[in-house]
Structure 1
Amino acid sequence: MKFALLAISLFFTCLLSAQTEDIITLWPDKVPNESRPKQLPRQTDNTSNNVIRLTDVTNPTLTVFKPKHSNGSKAGIIVCPGGGYGILAIDKEGYEIAEWLNNLGYTAFVLQYRVPKNQKGASQDIQRAIKVVRSKASEFDLDTKKIGLIGFSAGGHLSALASTNATTSFYEPQDAIDTLSSKSNFTMLIYPAYLDKGENKTINPDFSLDKNTPPFFIFGTVDDQYGNSGFVMGGQALRDNKTPVELHVYPEGGHGYGLRKGNVAGEIWPKLAEKWLKNIAKPAKKAKQDRTYNFPKAEVKPKALPKKKDVWVFIMAGQSNMAGRGYVEPQDTIASSRVLTINKNNEIVLAKEPLHFYEPKMGGLDSGLSFAKNLLEEIPENTSVLLIPTAVGGSSISQWLGDVSHRDVKLLSNFKEKVALAKKYGKVKGILWHQGESDANPKKIPQHSENLTALF
């Protein structure tokens, strides 16, 4: 037994180190609804059927598996292993599934959710996991509208629960990541358990189906003692809700087979799921995306303004590079309570890109928020940063010196007005000037240093 346990552990270690690059902690601070201290999960002594079983998960994580060759879909799939909410079959229904998804060209994230006997905590973990993956879309080259789930047994129940309760938060917001959606864009349930409830075997009332319920792929067998009526009933409920669903029920295969060889069901479902995935998560079109796609939909005002002595002010000035022409990614709209800016009404709000508002049809990502977030790491924790936008694209230094009205903005006058406004809230620490192309010509280049000095 000890030799078998050692062999499985070595296999587990090699698989993990060979395929993964990142382990993401879901809850950087306190884990909600968790009284136990954060610690590494424990591997049980039960290695029957060559399965690694983890328990005592108190610090939930996502283990990232990146494909060697992407299929271009930009889909990210969270893998939820089963185990009856007592353990996690982490290799058979976790890492091996992630490796299969990698071979198909998808990025996979294996979820270690809380066990044992903590379904409430597990439901919080999967909602948080979807948001965390969505927040890292740029880092892993994902489309925020292609974040999916695949769950097995109890992990299938958990995936169904998250997919049908996206508008209901299972926990209080912890940070800016929790402003993102917990919606799954597609969901795969493989021999799911607990989809029905009660003596009459009706659909589990914890599932709330509506017009936003994502497409489902469900696979199971008639001889599955843990869920055969549940996945049939779940498929029917989805059809009644007019939710796209592909349901496969095979005569035999039992439960808990993963995709290991030797079980007919375990060899059939991956082929069916692969075909379904190709259709549901098609490669991204190369057509240019709307530049406003990731723009924040709402402003957020600070709960309370920091004391004036604790605010460092930086004036953002210059031309198009500072006015913002870059593409705004989802993480650029995650606000920090310590980084502030103003809106077009001169009201203090939490800073989200795009910061500039003078050119509504041209604005985009600038360097201000990136500067501020990096600065936070070097200044006292009680200090906030206030960014004041004044840059206007296409404005030359000579226009600034002459206080010319450019694109309906009187350049130097507006700058002075904004400086006066900023001084009401903090101390001006510097001016961030980012040059554009308006002075990049043979006549102006020789005078550039002199003109810029005069402007400053």
Structure 2
Amino acid sequence: MATAQQEMPLYGADPIPNSRPAANAETIDSSGHPIRYSYSKVSHPTLTVWQPPVGKRTGTAVIVCPGGGYVHLAMTHEGTEVAAWLNSLGITAFVLKYRLPSDETMPDKTIGPLQDAQRAIQVVRQRAGEWGVDPGKIGILGFSAGGHLASTAGTHFSKAVIANPAGVSLRPDFMVLLYPVISFDDSIGHRGSRDNLIGKNPPAALIREYSNELQVTDQTPPTFLVHAEDDKTVKVINSLNFYEALMRHHVPAEMHIYPKGGHGFGMHNATTKDLWTERLQNWLAAGGWL
């Protein structure tokens, strides 16, 4: 039983950092069957709290980052549906509607989404008591480009791109990455996500900075990965390379590669009876988060 609470502005009454004055041009597409909500041109980020019943709460929180190539947000099958499932495990979920990179709304679009991910971690950690959350059990979960954002939050936490006067830890305690964009390398990266975030002709240093398999350290959080071998949109080598980097740095990790499933299957890979959600539940339990 999940309860979606009121959506709240991510920065509260404070100004949105790295923001140009511009009209709110956000659009919502709910066409298609089944109906799924897709948000585009997001410039006013929000966080929506999904809480399980008080008696079922484990103290663990997960910030959910929907995918969409940094051009839209798949808010239903990679957002609210996931939040409801996390609630069934006793996990408090926070669905992040993060800003989509735009030169029209941001002086520096390359850091906009990361600012919002860091702010979400900061807010949840600072207000943990209010939501019945253990500040040492805050994870981040992302699909596709949302997986890139989640993995960026998990590998770039030592460099704050938001105001953090209280020195709140911006490191997620664990990461869950579903068919994630990891690399911006020409040979394996998802070009659309790269172009949208850092531009069509980025300098080599920026490509490297946001190729997160190159940013793993011994302090990178434990990670759970899911991908399909036949994914033609985001090549499975993204997850494989990230997993290998985690192994080199002795970071606990678990990875599930399905032969089929393509890209964007959300919570349900129709090609297999195996449920990655069950595998994740086992991993979360083994890690002490349930």
* TM-score, normalised with respect to structure 2: 0.82
Residue 134 of structure 1 contacts residue 180 of structure 1 at CA under 8 Å; is this kept in 2?
A: yes
Indicate the residue corresponding to 1:338 in structure 2: none
User: What amino acid is the match of 2:262?
Assistant: G
Say yes or no: does 1:165 pair with 2:153.
no
Distance 2:128 2:288 in 1: 15
Say yes or no: does 1:29 pair with 2:18.
no
1:266–1:53 distance in 2 versus 1, CA, 3 Å: farther
Indicate the residue corresponding to 1:125 in structure 2: 116
Indicate the residue corresponding to 1:56 in structure 2: 41
Residue 178 of structure 2 contacts residue 227 of structure 2 at CA under 8 Å; is this kept in 1?
A: yes
Residue 194 of structure 1 contacts residue 227 of structure 1 at CA under 8 Å; is this kept in 2?
A: no
Residue 55 of structure 1 contacts residue 116 of structure 1 at CA under 8 Å; is this kept in 2?
A: no
Residue 137 of structure 2 contacts residue 289 of structure 2 at CA under 8 Å; is this kept in 1?
A: no
Indicate the residue corresponding to 2:106 in structure 1: none
Distance 2:273 2:123 in 1: 30
1:39: Cα distance to partner? 3.9
Distance 2:188 2:265 in 1: 28
After superposition, the C-alpha distances for 1:422-449 in whole angstroms (9 at most, x for unaligned) are xxxxxxxxxxxxxxxxxxxxxxxxxxxx
Residue 259 of structure 1 contacts residue 266 of structure 1 at CA under 8 Å; is this kept in 2?
A: no
Residue 62 of structure 1 contacts residue 111 of structure 1 at CA under 8 Å; is this kept in 2?
A: yes
RMSD of equivalent CA atoms = 2.5
SS at match of 2:131: coil
One of 209, 212, 219 as aligned partner of 2:219 = 212
1:187–1:25 distance in 2 versus 1, CA, 3 Å: same
1:241: Cα distance to partner? 1.1
Map 1:292-303; keep pairs closer than 5 Å: none
User: What amino acid is the match of 1:24?
Assistant: M
State which structure, 1 or 2, has the greater radius of gyration over its C-alpha atoms. 1
Distance 2:25 2:281 in 1: 33
One of 66, 70, 92 as aligned partner of 1:107 = 92
One of 155, 162, 167 as aligned partner of 1:179 = 167
SS at match of 1:84: coil
Residue 215 of structure 1 contacts residue 243 of structure 1 at CA under 8 Å; is this kept in 2?
A: yes
1:87–1:48 distance in 2 versus 1, CA, 3 Å: farther
Indicate the residue corresponding to 2:79 in structure 1: 94
One of 240, 249, 252 as aligned partner of 1:232 = 240
Map 1:17-416; keep pairs closer than 5 Å: 19-27=3-11, 28-37=13-22, 39=24, 41-44=26-29, 46-47=31-32, 50-68=35-53, 70-117=55-102, 118-171=109-162, 173=163, 176=165, 179-195=167-183, 197-199=185-187, 205-206=209-210, 207=212, 208-225=215-232, 226-260=234-268, 263-264=270-271, 268-282=275-289
Distance 2:225 2:30 in 1: 32
Structure 2 gaps, min length 5: 103-108, 190-206
User: What amino acid is the match of 2:241?
Assistant: M
After superposition, the C-alpha distances for 1:169-213 in whole angstroms (9 at most, x for unaligned) are 123x1x65x531111000000111243513377x96433222211
Distance 2:23 2:286 in 1: 40
User: What amino acid is the match of 2:133?
Assistant: L
1:98: Cα distance to partner? 0.1
Residue 38 of structure 1 contacts residue 59 of structure 1 at CA under 8 Å; is this kept in 2?
A: no
SS at match of 1:197: coil
Residue 101 of structure 2 contacts residue 112 of structure 2 at CA under 8 Å; is this kept in 1?
A: no
1:248: Cα distance to partner? 1.0
User: What amino acid is the match of 2:112?
Assistant: G
User: What amino acid is the match of 2:10?
Assistant: L
Structure 1 gaps, min length 5: 1-14, 284-456
1:47: Cα distance to partner? 3.5
Identity within the alignment, %: 35
1:89: Cα distance to partner? 0.3
1:253: Cα distance to partner? 0.5
SS at match of 1:227: coil
Residue 182 of structure 2 contacts residue 242 of structure 2 at CA under 8 Å; is this kept in 1?
A: no
The answer to which structure, 1 or 2, has the higher relative contact order (CA under 8 A, 6+ apart) is 2
1:107–1:116 distance in 2 versus 1, CA, 3 Å: same
Residue 76 of structure 1 contacts residue 106 of structure 1 at CA under 8 Å; is this kept in 2?
A: yes
User: What amino acid is the match of 1:101?
Assistant: L
After superposition, the C-alpha distances for 1:268-313 in whole angstroms (9 at most, x for unaligned) are 2111111111122345xxxxxxxxxxxxxxxxxxxxxxxxxxxxxx
SS at match of 2:128: coil
After superposition, the C-alpha distances for 1:6-43 in whole angstroms (9 at most, x for unaligned) are xxxxxxxxx9xx72123232223221222144748320
Indicate the residue corresponding to 1:400 in structure 2: none
Residue 157 of structure 1 contacts residue 194 of structure 1 at CA under 8 Å; is this kept in 2?
A: yes
Distance 1:237 1:169 in 2: 23
